[in-house]
Amino acid sequence: MRNVMVTGANGFIGSALCQTLVDGGYLITAAVRAAEQKRRDARRAHAIVGDIDSATNWRRCLQSVDAIVHLAARIRIMDLSGAALLRAMRRTNVEGTESLARQAAASGVKRFVYVSSIKVNGEQTSARPFTASDQPSPQDAYAISKLEAEQALWRVALETGLEVVLIRPPMVYGPGVKGNFLRLIQWMDKGLPLPLASIDNRRSQIALDNLIDFLALCIHHPAAAGQIFLISDGQDLSTPELLRRVACLLGRPARLWPVPPTLLRIAAQATGKRAEFDRLGASLQVDASYAREQLAWRPQTSIDETLSRTIEWYRAQKSCPMNV
């Protein structure tokens, strides 16, 4: 499994994975959407694939490829909602994924590692953490499309013999992070007061380096084929604890003040921000014991180590005029 194609190769996870694989002696084909996303690196080939859907022609990219790590996905579309949003998500995340898998099988690719999402299991946990054997409960268009992509891959595996590995990570963080985690850092850096001190939840997360290490293992480990893996750092934090650790690394006070979570939930519901509140106030834990036992895997870095490096990256970006 030395020849690997990575889709979404210029993204937060994809760029780090490609670098790790190249450094490990793998031959990499980095699939990106546009020519300007190519990186200047003679150690990797590039494939310009455009938008991903059922019509994407992957055949030329797949020559001599042993394994694929499929990271590319449609995550959000700002101007769509409801049925139109789900159709658009399915076009890329379901139809595009199934088409790639079928072309891969026809081209002799042996293994297909698919990075799905813990949102397939649901948005929050209560009595116990999620496991891979739980009944899926996707709540939005993105999660529904991810589950349907998983189901399509199992069909392809059954019909063609392609080895499929499914991974459902929780929130991924590390240097280069964007989205909600970056906003949390910015809030703490500005010293903004947040009414979250009374939140008593637990949320799983996975450091970028730990996810990359696990993906690299799934490319070649014999026991990974045909499996669904939930993974995490193994240390679940409450939202206030995470914010306090970030604030400490920034050298800022954590201005958290207590408000009953019930009142916060009611206010979020009334203002149409319930989903945002749930990401901060609800618990979402995963049981990663199966991944650890099946593949003898252990996280390579700790939360504190990764948070420290993430804050260093954030400060470097903030101090650079090009990134302001």
Tell me which residue has tokens 């009611």: 266
Give DSSP secondary structure letters for 154-167: HHHHHHH--EEEEE
97: its two tokens = 């994924």
C-alpha closest to that of 34 among 64, 72, 77: 72
With the CA atoms of 94, 100, 102 and 108 taken in that order, what torsion angle do they form, in degrees rounded to the nearest 10?
-150
Contact 112, 104 (CB under 8 A): yes
What are the structural domains, with CATH classification, of the chain?
Answer: 3-168 (3.40.50.720)
Higher pLDDT, 117 or 77: 117
What is the C-alpha separation between 190 and 150, in angstroms, rounded? 40
Per-residue pLDDT of 74-115, as tens digits, reads 887 777 788 899 999 999 999 999 999 999 999 999 999 999
- For residue 38, the model assigns a pLDDT of 61
- Rounded to two decimals, what is the model's pTM? 0.93
- For residue 160, the model assigns a pLDDT of 97
Contact 100, 72 (CB under 8 A): no
Reply yes or no on whether 142 is catalytic: yes
- For residue 108, the model assigns a pLDDT of 95
Least confident of 30-39, 121-130, 183-192, 280-289: 30-39
What is the C-alpha separation between 324 and 319, in angstroms, rounded? 8
**Which range among 52-66, 236-250, 265-279 has the greatest average pLDDT?**
236-250
Q: Which of 142, 173, 290, 314 is catalytic?
A: 142
What is the C-alpha separation between 264 and 309, in angstroms, rounded? 32
Higher pLDDT, 37 or 2: 2
Residue 224 predicted with pLDDT over 50: yes
Least confident of 11-15, 47-51, 91-95, 224-228: 47-51
